[in-house]
Amino acid sequence: MNRHAIAIGLGLSLLHCNVANESVDAAPTEDSLLAERSAAESELGDEDCGCDGDHEDRVADVAVSTADRTALEAADAPTMGPADAPVTVVAFMDYDCPYCVRVNATLSAILAERSDVRVVFRQHPLPFHKRAHGAARAALAAAELGRFGDFHQWLLANRDAADFVGEAERLGLDTRAFSAAVDSAAIEEQIASDRELAKRLQARGTPTLFINGRRAVGALPQERLESLIDEAHPAGR
């Protein structure tokens, strides 16, 4: 079986880590998902499960509605960068997606170089990624305790790691408070809300970015992403 046929058979986009159908909530059993993932990884390799990022036709022509942009950029999600930045990039992320690792490095470089951009991180754990949902809960728990940035970077740099409490302890967090937050209904509701927002805005896979409301799919190269940021800048650049 050729490489593209395997990817299509799993419902994976050649551009980014993608859900298998239109419904984010509908998913096969865990055993079947793990079997499919194992078979895919043995045939394709880890770096073939998602996007290569530099496909300009994956950028929407127009931004989402004002109401949807307000929902995307609301203060209910962790952010990095100046609160009053004129350009907001909303990133739907999955902590098991290798292409989220790639786009995160690009976003980190942009945040280090520019003061006119802020990034809002929304959770979009895909059903075929075993660790992703737990990692999303842990990231939001760390955010509640004021250490989202460090925990977020650790999750993406260590995609096989699952000792979330151990990392919380290493960061000096109260592990009881961290564990309570991880298990809280509020965090589960936040993830569900983010996933529902992703579904409504057709952000089916990861990473999906919204740059002042304009959707861009995949781990875009820094030059391309910065050009989209410049286009979105109210004052122009």
For 171-212, the pLDDT digits (tens) are: 999 999 999 999 999 999 999 999 999 999 999 899 999 999
Q: What pLDDT was estimated at residue 43? A: 36
- C-alpha–C-alpha distance, residues 143 and 18, integer Å: 26
Query: Whole-angstrom Cα distance, residue 106 to residue 99?
Result: 11
Whether the predicted pLDDT of 22 surpasses 50: no
Q: What is the mean pLDDT of residues 57-81?
A: 91
SS3 sequence of the chain: CCHHHHHHHCCCCCCCEECCCCCCCCCCCHHHHHHHHHHHHHHHCHHHCCCCCCCHHHEEEEECCHHHHHHHCCCCCCEECCCCCCEEEEEEECCCCHHHHHHHHHHHHHHHHCCCEEEEEEECCCCCCCCHHHHHHHHHHHHHCCCHHHHHHHHHHCCCCCCHHHHHHHCCCCHHHHHHHHCCHHHHHHHHHHHHHHHHCCCCEECEEEECCEEEECCCCHHHHHHHHHHHCCCCC
Per-residue tokens: 75: 């203060």
pLDDT at 8 (0 to 100): 35
Please tell me the predicted confidence (pLDDT) of residue 237: 64
> What is the arithmetic mean of pLDDT over 16-31?
46
Round to whole Å and give the CA distance between 79 and 9.
36
Residue 40 has pLDDT above 80, yes or no: no
φ, ψ at 123 (rounded to 5°): -90, 130
- Structural domains of the chain, ranges and CATH numbers in brackets: 53-232 (3.40.30.10)
- Distance of alpha carbon 110 from alpha carbon 117, whole angstroms: 8
Provide the whole-model pTM: 0.79
